[in-house]
Structure 1
Amino acid sequence: MKNPFLNFFYVPPAQKLLDIAFKRAMKSSASVSKNAPILIKAKKKEAKRIKVAIEELIDRILKIIKMVPIIEELPDFYRELASLLVDTDQLRLTLGKLNGILPILSKIKREYLSKLRKIEHPKEGDRIRRAVFGRVSSILRKQSDNLEYLNSIRGKLREIPSIDYSIPCIVCAGAPNVGKSSIVKEISTKKKIEVQEYPFTTKKLILGHLKIERRFDTVSLQIMDSPGILDRPLESRNNIEKQAILALRLISDLILFIFDPTPACGYTIESQINLFNEIKENFIQKENINYIIVFNKKDLASESEIKYLKNELKLTDDDFILTNALTGENLDKIIARLRDMFIKPMESKDF
């Protein structure tokens, strides 16, 4: 699904809303016979203005409220990140206050339309309409802080990445410079890669899509690289960053962990293994998320370097895939493993 906050657009200040509503009201015209008495014309004209002004405000405030999704109804990933970005209790309270003025505005409309029907002089109509505009202005100006608050938080919420919950999500992890982004790009069916912001980091998520043909249809998988996110220990982050990173557990169906057996990436084997163990503890074991281990840079790695990493991880030859992302060597084995994990179980259910 797309980020549910993408429709959280600009929220005008109170005065802007009033200006729009009153301008429309003053331009409105009531249908009345030319031969009608002046008093009747005055009543209809001012009644129309009152209705248009208040209904315009109610409509615009309702649209503002509906722009914000109900936090409790959001998928876990979006709810978690939203609660990190803003005070969701304050957001609910703010929307509740805005919603609370709607029946008040409706009551004012009924009350003053009733008064308008009882006037005995045309000039009284103008006085009543001005009184309505005054009361409405006072009510809306008291909501200025709430409107400003909504406008101040919308940008943060709109930056949450859009993740498709309907298809599995493969998250690539590993130290910087091990070849994660190259692997994401090369195994993606379409080479057009999406780049999205991720809260509390200066980096961006890189999203690719892998389409795997079945007998009668095509199944899609999302592949996500997370540069600057799952590439260094959690202990080096502040609490908010940690929570934002751990929120990725909520969308991860599989971790594709990439190792560089050589010194080329600039990170020791020990530091890469420590990172893997941390992700294993926080993602794989806690959330029962499956994983695939990849040793990249096959062209640069010596047999002894590969053997050392394999022994340190206590792996057999079948426990990892040895690849060269630059030439594409053995990337088909990653796709085959993904097919075994995600597509074959689907196919068995179809029969």
Structure 2
Amino acid sequence: MVQYNFKKITVVPTGKDFVDIILSRTQRQTPTVVHKGYAISRIRQFYMRKVKYTQQNFHEKLSTIIDEFPRLDDIHPFYGDLLHVLYNKDHYKLALGQINTARNLIGKVSKDYVKLLKYGDSLYRCKSLKVAALGRMCTVIKRIGPSLAYLEQIRQHMARLPSIDPNTRTILICGYPNVGKSSFINKITRADVDVQPYAFTTKSLFVGHTDYKYLRYQVIDTPGILDRPFEDRNIIEMCSITALAHLRAAVLFFLDLSGSCGYSIAQQAALFHSIKSLFMNKPLVIVCNKTDLQPLETLPEEDMKLVMEMKSEAMKTVVGEGGEPTDDAGVLLTMSTLTEEGVIAVKNAACERLLNQRVELKMKSKKINDCLNRFHVAIPKPRDQKERPVCIPQAVLEAKAKKAEEAAEKEKRKLERDLENENGGAGVYSASLKKHYILANDEWKEDIMPEILDGHNVYDFIDPDILQRLEELEREEGLRQEQEADDDFEMDDTELTPEQQELLAQIRKKKSLLIQQHRMKKATGGRRPTVPRLFDKDRQFTSGRMGRELSRVGIDPSLAINRARDKSRGRKRERSSERGDDNAMDVDGGQLRKKLRRSIDTSRSSRSRSRSRNPNEVVPGEGLKDSAQKAKARKLDKKSSNKRNKDAKRGEADRTIPNLKPKHLFSGKRSTGKTQRR
């Protein structure tokens, strides 16, 4: 079973293609026609839909990228470390983090601009907001263009990675470069790994599959490893180290006895001792290859001593039941991939040792107890020569016979096909779908159930819990009526004194008046104008009434009444005096009148009325040289706002007819070279 299939990751488009795809989809999937004559709510909805749809498409695409790329912390450690070796997990996580940040930014931009679009007051403003929103989203995507390109390169490389299942039966081949690893995997599997007579022909992991005892085994060919410090190893060697560290597999360590690989047996033994910590608790087989060039028996004594040391170390890597090393059978094997001598023996030995170890681990686990508890095989020992045949209880025989009868009856039962053949065949016989209904009375099965009755859908009135709900409603209604009965407490007038009754009547009268006034104010929506005293027919706002009200409270009203009279007379006196002064000063011109007015203003008390400034008077800092220029500017400003004010006051009830026949569509055919107007 392939656990991780990186070939299914969706293609990551470039930043420019990303923008083109989303904007094209928005244009195709949303309405494209809007007129300035539409209601403003409809125009807002049109542009809000554009912004929301674009954001949803961006969010969907970016979420697909984030979800489909594997999380290094969630996948198997083998794949996590392999991806880190190949791509550097810091850069990988940064790229995915930028995609996630872009997704959040686009969501925030959409939210902000939809909020602004809700208050758009014209088609032009709504369109401008839509353009700004889409532009900011596209800018965010353009900024993450390098991350998208980086992820696309990673996707292409990951699609070429072999499909390795870290949990299945695995045989791992390792050793120095050019010792015959790829030739061996080509012999025992259908893999076609390139074989050349120089080092590092294999630059990545290759996978093949072989069978042993009707079980499928996964064989992994790793690149060659050199004996040097861990920090100095390159990416090709780190692929092999990662596989050795994380895969539970049988390890085949290849030795080239002939030295034709370019490395001596001492160097290969040094590599073995430097990485032997990676072989712990794994079945290890040391394979002496190229015996056609250099048999094991003819090795020099020094080299033979090194090989035997490696064999003893290999026996220590896997211990048996009591903590003792396992037997040395199958630890050191010889073969030649050229003559194929010993190739199958090496494969069988590795598979057998791996199988034994996996069975042993399962026997030690707790799962074996659950399996053993499910079955028990009893083999009684014979006591004498008497035969004791199998005895089946009578109840079992009867149950078996009953089942046989039911099966026979089931076979005899007529099928719908048989009934159809008996009743005229297809097109004549119609199968009844109601005969298997489970009803209280079988006669009800063929009743016709109306779907529409008195203009109502019957199904809307069918509720299996209607009685229960009715009881709950009645219970709630009873509780509510009891509470209302408790709350409705009326004061009895007979228990009050005459003064209290009179006071109660005044309170009720005042309350009813307040309620009436509130209802009148509510009916007009609070838009009643302030009534001038000239039209105060009911004399509700007089100083006499105010004095009576203040006296009743216990406040001296004389000061308030005098102040109100002074305010009401002040402007009249001023006008009359000014009018008389103006008549007297007409002969002398406006200068004397201004002087007199200024002297009156200085002598007048602080409660006199302030004069308004002439709208055409130039204020310092406005940037206008004189009042004539300011008057002209105010006139132009008012004229320019006329159309805007008119459009702003226009509503749906004004019966405006938008221009639904644009000239370029309804002005007849165009001759050659007449398209400039468009």
The amino acid of 2:273's aligned partner reads N
Contact 2:333/2:346 (<8 A) preserved: yes
More strand by share: 1
**Deviation sequence 1:165-191 (CA, Å, 0-9, x none):** 121322223344443222222223xx2
Query: Aligned runs of 1:88-167 on 2, under 5 Å?
Result: 88-119=89-120, 121-151=122-152, 153-154=154-155, 161-167=162-168
Q: Which moved more, 1:179-188 or 1:155-164?
A: 155-164
| 1:5–1:238 distance in 2 versus 1, CA, 3 Å | farther
| 1:80–1:156 distance in 2 versus 1, CA, 3 Å | same
The amino acid of 1:210's aligned partner reads T
Match of 1:246 in 2: 241
Counterparts of 1:103 and 1:312 in 2: how far apart (Å)? 62
How many correspondences in the alignment?
334
- In the alignment, structure 2 segments of 5+ residues that lack a partner are 195-199, 312-327, 373-678
| 1:82–1:201 distance in 2 versus 1, CA, 3 Å | farther
**Deviation sequence 1:107-164 (CA, Å, 0-9, x none):** 4434444554555544444233223223323443443454345446555655654421
| 1:42–1:209 distance in 2 versus 1, CA, 3 Å | same
Match of 1:67 in 2: 68
Question: 2:18 aligned with 1:21, yes or no?
Answer: no
Match of 1:297 in 2: 290
Shift of 1:256: 0.8
Contact 2:283/2:354 (<8 A) preserved: no
Q: Which moved more, 1:91-100 or 1:301-310?
A: 301-310
Counterparts of 2:5 and 2:290 in 1: how far apart (Å)? 39
Question: 2:231 aligned with 1:219, yes or no?
Answer: no
Shift of 1:244: 4.3
Question: 2:342 aligned with 1:326, yes or no?
Answer: no
Match of 2:270 in 1: 274
Match of 2:254 in 1: 258
Counterparts of 2:291 and 2:161 in 1: how far apart (Å)? 36
The amino acid of 1:253's aligned partner reads A
CA RMSD across the alignment: 3.8
Counterparts of 1:18 and 1:264 in 2: how far apart (Å)? 57
The amino acid of 2:272's aligned partner reads F
Match of 1:233 in 2: 227
SS in 1 for 2:49: helix
Query: Aligned runs of 1:303-314 on 2, under 5 Å?
Result: 304-305=297-298, 308=301, 309-314=303-308
The amino acid of 1:220's aligned partner reads R
- In the alignment, structure 1 segments of 5+ residues that lack a partner are none
Match of 2:191 in 1: 192
Counterparts of 2:127 and 2:50 in 1: how far apart (Å)? 10
The amino acid of 2:252's aligned partner reads L
Shift of 1:347: 5.5
Contact 2:50/2:130 (<8 A) preserved: yes
SS in 2 for 1:38: coil
| 1:114–1:160 distance in 2 versus 1, CA, 3 Å | same
| 1:293–1:55 distance in 2 versus 1, CA, 3 Å | same
Counterparts of 1:125 and 1:236 in 2: how far apart (Å)? 62
Shift of 1:221: 1.9
The amino acid of 1:247's aligned partner reads T
Counterparts of 2:134 and 2:128 in 1: how far apart (Å)? 10
Counterparts of 1:344 and 1:302 in 2: how far apart (Å)? 30
Shift of 1:291: 0.9
Counterparts of 2:201 and 2:91 in 1: how far apart (Å)? 24
Match of 2:349 in 1: 337
Match of 1:207 in 2: 207
| 1:178–1:147 distance in 2 versus 1, CA, 3 Å | closer
Counterparts of 2:87 and 2:177 in 1: how far apart (Å)? 30
Contact 1:28/1:48 (<8 A) preserved: no
Counterparts of 1:175 and 1:124 in 2: how far apart (Å)? 71
Counterparts of 2:85 and 2:128 in 1: how far apart (Å)? 50
